[in-house]
Structure 1
């Protein structure tokens, strides 16, 4: 089984203000991406190195209600309160070659495996039915793409590179054990502290950390 970081997701209250904030922090304008009809969200995306990408995501105000709870806790009142303050690191997504095996072997509930499609590309993603984030946001969603080039290869490269996914936990050994069970302990740095997720990025103007 091959697991690698697929993308990182930064949530915002709306894409325009989120893009403005990211341009101030990263000194690049995150290009427009697309819409997720099944979740009534939309995004901006760009390459983040090593066939991964940076996603800025928000609820799409022009889309109808999705008929289910949105992914990545975007409907959660606490998440919305935090995103009203500023864009936040929402979650990280791991690309796997065998999603069914990951779900079957996971010691925690990763959610349902949901099918998505855009154009001629399809993917399968773990999404908890209640829209929550596994492990209080520290554990990733898992994705399996249909055959073909990774989507990042068609995105703009503006010089942003993901250096580290950083996870903070009051009992780091416990979290590391869980990551090992999921075969993803090599993909993140775990430090002691209050529960938290952040992304360390290399930008044209230096290194920044988004939390």
Structure 2
């Protein structure tokens, strides 16, 4: 079941990001209220919470790390041409996060969807949060490429942001789990691929509905 959930969450992340990128190159086009400014540090304000350039870069770093881990995990069972194709695919996905608009889209998505989790009064137990962070640190410990990224960003800076970030991610995961549970109950005969597609579709619809109703100011040019 853990592998099935991993597949669904990974596919969901890729499909939602691709859909957002296809529909709009600039995050502000999907919002209801935007303000362009010349601020150099702040990139957006969402429901009163201001995000700075460093926040956006951190969210992007965490996405890249997640994809680097997935790339390495996939590579364990591949060789030859299949390995080459897999690495090329993930390298292309990682390269997309060099685009500031993609970075901001992901920041907005995670924050906006975590707000739904809070509205639903989802609770992330501190012990589970600590375990999530510990698992993350264990997963990246032996990856030299990721360690180099952390050093460049600042390890202390990263460690100081992990609790808030992973609490949001875990709230989003609860939403995904709820969507998946509902779909499996509605369509018990569906394959895992069909489930993953339907989860992605409903998640994107929920996200678009959520983000359209948020007060947002976009400063990123």
Q: How high is the TM-score relative to the length of structure 2? A: 0.30
| Structure having greater relative contact order (Cα 8 Å, sep ≥ 6) | 2
Q: Give the structure with the larger helix fraction.
A: 2
Q: How high is the TM-score relative to the length of structure 1? A: 0.31
